[in-house]
A and B are shown apart, each in its own frame.
Chain A
Amino acid sequence: MTNTAQKVMNTSDVSGSKDVVIKITNLKKGFGSQPVLKNVSLQLMNGENLAILGKSGSGKSVLIKCIVRLLNPDDGVINVLGEDMRALNSKHLGEIRKKIGFLFQSGALYDSMTVKQNLEFPLRRIKKHLVQKEIDEKVKEALDHVGLSDAIDKMPSQLSGGMRKRISLARTIVVDPQIMLYDEPTTGLDPITSNEISTLINDVQKKYKTSSIIITHDIACARLTANRVIMLKDGEVYLDGTLAEFEKTTDPLITSFFK
């Protein structure tokens, strides 16, 4: 048995713990005859920032889309906050999704809405009990948190790439999620803005006590944010460990990534 497999087995031993917020077991997903995720098992602990690294096409984004069931897995078990995601009907799936924040690679801001309306959109649907004054306060607080209060009346087309990512992050945190899923949060950004986004990810974890999965191939982002790192290769978990363990290893794939 390889070190990698051993580590996965070890982390799976604590599956019964209530500190586990996401537990994935033997996940398989393919498109047509092309398998993307072959046999992925991992878990996310409460309050942890887990970075998932891997080359393009290794199945990182597919993995987190399977977690929120934007994609339906072919096989395996996905347990989120104690619920089997594959067994949920649409109503219960909606309830679980309310507790998960998803930052899309492109930001996915609604083009036809202003920044304020973008933030109000999930708030009005997830926190239905809030009155307009409370909604305004939460929108302001989220925008303050990402440092873009001035952009409240702007349209997404008027924002730069970094600003779009920040607003998208504000839209995600405005509903107080328990789990954050970041899909390549720093891709396409300059090193300074990437650094700012990574800092924001840490701030979000501290302020909102979230547990996060950060999909990235940006080692600087992983170094700044991750408590633990998983490397995916060819649709399987290649190595699971801390950053220090990753940096110590002599495995050529890992070392080429960390150069």
Chain B
Amino acid sequence: MHEITCYTMKKNISDIKTRFTFDGGIKRTNVFFVAIAEAFLFVLSILKETFSRDFEYKEFFRQCFQIGYKTLPLISITGIIIGFVITIQSRPVLIKFGAVTMLPGMVAVSLIREMGPVITALICAGKIGSGMGAELGSMRVSEQIDAMEVSATNPVKFLVVTRVWAATLMIPLLILYADALGIIGGWAGANIKGNVSFVLFFSQAFGHVIFMDLFPAIVKSFFFGAIIGLVGCYKGYTAGRGTESVGKAANSAVVVSSLLVIIVDMIAVQITDLL
């Protein structure tokens, strides 16, 4: 097999496609395997470029700023509303069971284990994934990626590696931030019909949270971040030449990364359940 670099990746993909240009059902079946092979080579080239020399730190920090800081307003509003809504919806049920004192703990556990990571990841898939798909797709269409290549700059290293790692590191932080704001939203929700102090709500909330609630959630958050970064970049980087493909890249980045987030969440829940 050829050396896997960004320069040879396209050639490898082209070779695979050439080998599988049969007619009929075989072609359709092989399209799936070609797509898997393309994605595999893409991930492989990212891993290789991550550990090669001259990491693009400046672009990496710029992307961390774009992904982290610029998503904060959306995540802040969403986080508070999630906590608020969970509290409002759960309170009558807990009152019915005489367990209203469990409300802060229930809000905290459900936010940290499930609601915070999944909802934040889905929002990030919409905002960050589509942004990456559209940006790289339009760079492909307007030959900016080609311009980088002929400037002896590795576009996978500069554009993709930095974005994927920025998403992998920033999305877990956004999820923790959304969890914290969700608990504040929960406290606000609890005070609409009740009267509970902020300190009491927080101490009751974290009194029910154990390490095994937090740890699997943080681990799966990194996977969510990686999925959103990888899918967004892959869809944009491999976009076709027409302007229509920019829209398709952005759209499929959101659809595929959202679907993968849900699937990975399901697997993570099963694994956590076994622990």
Q: Chain A residues in contact with chain B, CB under 8 A?
A: 32, 65, 68-70, 72, 89-90, 93-95, 97-98, 100, 102, 104-106, 108-112, 121-122, 125-126, 175
B142 touches A100 (CB 8 A): no
A245–B6 Cα gap in the complex (Å)? Answer: 44
What is the CB-to-nearest-CB distance from A5 to chain B, in angstroms, rounded to a whole number? Answer: 30
What residues on B are CB-neighbors of A126 within 8 Å? 151-152
- The size of the chain B interface, using a CB distance under 8 A, is 23
B153 touches A122 (CB 8 A): yes
What residues on A are CB-neighbors of B10 within 8 Å? 72
Interface positions, chain B 203-250, Cβ under 8 Å from A, are none
A65–B150 Cα gap in the complex (Å)? Answer: 10
B5 touches A121 (CB 8 A): no
A90 touches B5 (CB 8 A): yes
Query: Smallest CB-CB separation from B17: which chain A residue?
Result: A32
Q: Chain B residues in contact with chain A, CB under 8 A?
A: 3, 5-8, 10-11, 14, 21, 135, 138-139, 142-144, 146-147, 149-154
What is the CB-to-nearest-CB distance from A151 to chain B, in angstroms, rounded to a whole number? Answer: 18
What is the CB-to-nearest-CB distance from B66 to chain A, in angstroms, rounded to a whole number? Answer: 10
A69 touches B7 (CB 8 A): yes
A68 touches B152 (CB 8 A): no
Most buried by B among A98, A108, A122, A175: A108
Pick 14 A–B contacts, CB within 8 A, sort by A.
A68-B149, A69-B7, A90-B6, A90-B7, A95-B152, A97-B150, A97-B152, A102-B150, A104-B143, A104-B146, A104-B147, A109-B144, A112-B135, A125-B153
What is the CB-to-nearest-CB distance from B104 to chain A, in angstroms, rounded to a whole number? Answer: 44
Task: Taking A106-B143, A125-B152 as given, write out 19 further A-B residue pairs in contact, using a Cβ cutoff of 8 Å, ordered by the A residue number.
Answer: A32-B21, A68-B149, A69-B7, A90-B6, A90-B8, A94-B7, A97-B149, A97-B150, A97-B151, A97-B152, A102-B146, A104-B147, A108-B142, A109-B144, A111-B142, A122-B152, A122-B153, A125-B151, A175-B151
